[in-house]
A and B are shown apart, each in its own frame.
Chain A
């Protein structure tokens, strides 16, 4: 017993200095990553639930609306007084724009209503008596019960509004979750499309990569080098050049269409660009090398004698490949698929440039809400869904790999 403790403490003593070295080795990179990546990403992701812009700029309204329910009808004098006071303060602090934006995100078309109300409130333009009536007379939109319940529903420091919206859900005035009206629902469909495009791209990459990887592994070293260089060309080419190439190639009177027409296969130009087809071509062109290299890396480690042995044992080539080669290549296919799929999920410039409107993927929407409408709450929520999707895919990969290896281990 005593011996055990002694040995352990000696063991720990012996280990401590090297642990410090270990920490020192890691520290600069860890600090760099935390400062430049994890912290900003966490900040951005927090935007999906952050409601402080609304809550902190409407402190009185928050209190006044605390007990209000939409069944009570249009709020009373006290609420209007609180709102007018809050908006006047917000205008004075230059925060009326952001409040207007946040309310507008919830009820579209209320931006000017809020800004104008704030401006008049700041000037003291509303009479103190019968304030409610006064406001309603000038801005009849404040008599909209939907607007009030949208505001009242969401006057908490943390909001679920954006997250719900990112999966086409909303909270109705009763506090129940429901789907948004059909004409507003877009994101689930875009997520589905994104996943589908990524799956198709991954599968096509696997099918195209296998023979190429075989060729590279079988080739003499200098031939293999040439092949690898050729494969890498698309990756080395700038996005702009590649995009122009696709446009030239795929346009109505481009080489593909004119060749097909010349051969008499078609009689009027096919619509190739701004289609799903052109998107696949562009994505596979860039993602295929990663699949090839993942597979080649694994195949290089498989002894050539295994295939020879399988053949000498009387098995037809295809069967030998299926039973002996493929199971051993599988880890490479898994790795390659994970890389290709994850990259594909995040594509946004390529779909924007050469995909049609029905080819836009989720990242395009994230970029749109981040840059164009500054709806960071929604952009962040969509990012969280994408992240969630990635984790899900990763888990599926891990599990299928586990199941697969278990099967081959047995």
Chain B
């Protein structure tokens, strides 16, 4: 788990939140979160991304003060907050189910945090009015939550978490309950709000598209361990573990054995069929004989490409052509892998391929990443290789 070079090289990092060696175990046996080291910069939009049960909510709840860490320390502005009760942490929190108070109107919900802080009445009214304008709900102030649509409830929840001007806002899958269209609109609004307020957002999701489009940085979780913390293009283009490679976006995975390395950033892999591939090592020793996983993104593989430009290649048969709208998915079977997916742009339909046709799939060395297979032994290649998106 290392941070991308682009960010660590910056000298004056203004750390807002810091996790040091934080662990949490609910039952004293299994770790829900383990050895968590994470520095969050002030004003950053950081997303915790990971499959269900990977410890994202647990991490967020430890920061919010609703779970006590079993190990390690959490600090905000270099001050340890492990012992501070939740209601004194001054953190804005948005829940997946919004947790709006059902017996209060929108205005009363929004006034709640200010009343708790004993703001004078006039001040409260001013703030409520202001924030209602901000989330465009000015005419809904006297409605109760069940009289609002999902998107409106979401906005009230966000407004309530922002109204007391916290420096840090945590959101646990705040868009999980919305349909796709609304979700995209709310993603935009959230991002916009973040840019305008300049406060730190920590966002939890298991939707990778959401994570990639909104975040400054993404922290990928698996089984309570952070796999990688990086910019969106970092986790997509330069995954550090096979888990990240598989979890973020789609990947074609082929198992093979390391033959050796002739050059820096280049490794030779022999597939079971005897086929030799040249690839880029990500997280693997270059000692010969090591079992390795080779990955290729569907959009980086090309059909009937020039072997000079795309030196890696497999002979394969087209078994399916799926028109998806903005692109076309071609599924191929070869001796080495069945169900190899190639995405091609809509326009290259000109390449007149047909089902049953034998073709050569080719890809570049830099688009072919290799990972140690031992640390990924528990994951079924088929399951994650093509399951996402």
Contact = CB atoms under 8 A, between A and B. Distances in A.
B117 A309 contact: no
B99 A308 contact: yes
B164 A313 contact: yes
A305 B103 contact: no
Contacts of B93: 308-309, 312-313
B105 A314 contact: no
Nearest to A323: B112
Given A308-B66, A319-B116, A410-B142, A314 B99 contact: no
Nearest to B95: A305
Interface residues of A, number: 22
Interface string B119-160: 000000000000000000000001010000000000000001
A312 B66 CA distance: 9
Interface of A is mostly: helix
B310 interface: no
A311 interface: yes
A327 interface: yes
B145 to A, nearest CB: 11
Contacts of B113: 313-315
B90 interface: yes
B103 A314 contact: no
Contacts of B100: 309
A181 B147 CA distance: 62
Contact of A312 (B91, B97, B101, B104): B91
Given A328-B103, A409-B144, A308 B86 contact: yes
A409 B113 CA distance: 20
B66 A327 contact: no
Contact of B87 (A317, A327, A408, A409): A317
B64 interface: yes
Nearest to A305: B99
Nearest to B91: A312
Contacts of B64: 308, 312
Nearest to A410: B105
B144 A313 contact: no
A338 interface: no
A313 B102 contact: no
A223 interface: no
B63 to A, nearest CB: 11
A305 B160 CA distance: 14
A316 B87 contact: yes
Given A309-B93, A410-B105, A315 B99 contact: no
Interface string B312-339: 0000000000000000000000000000
B101 A310 contact: yes
Across the A-B interface, the 3 shortest Cβ-Cβ residue pairs: A315-B116, A309-B99, A313-B113
Given A312-B93, A313-B116, 12 more contacts: A303-B99, A306-B102, A308-B95, A311-B66, A311-B85, A313-B160, A313-B164, A314-B88, A315-B113, A320-B87, A409-B144, A410-B142
Interface of A: 303, 305-306, 308-317, 319-320, 323-324, 327-328, 408-410
Interface of B: 64-66, 85-93, 95, 97, 99-105, 112-113, 115-117, 142, 144, 160-161, 164
26 contacts: A303-B97, A305-B95, A305-B97, A306-B99, A306-B102, A308-B64, A309-B95, A309-B99, A309-B100, A309-B160, A310-B101, A310-B112, A311-B65, A311-B86, A311-B87, A312-B66, A312-B93, A315-B115, A316-B116, A317-B87, A319-B116, A323-B112, A327-B103, A328-B103, A408-B104, A410-B142
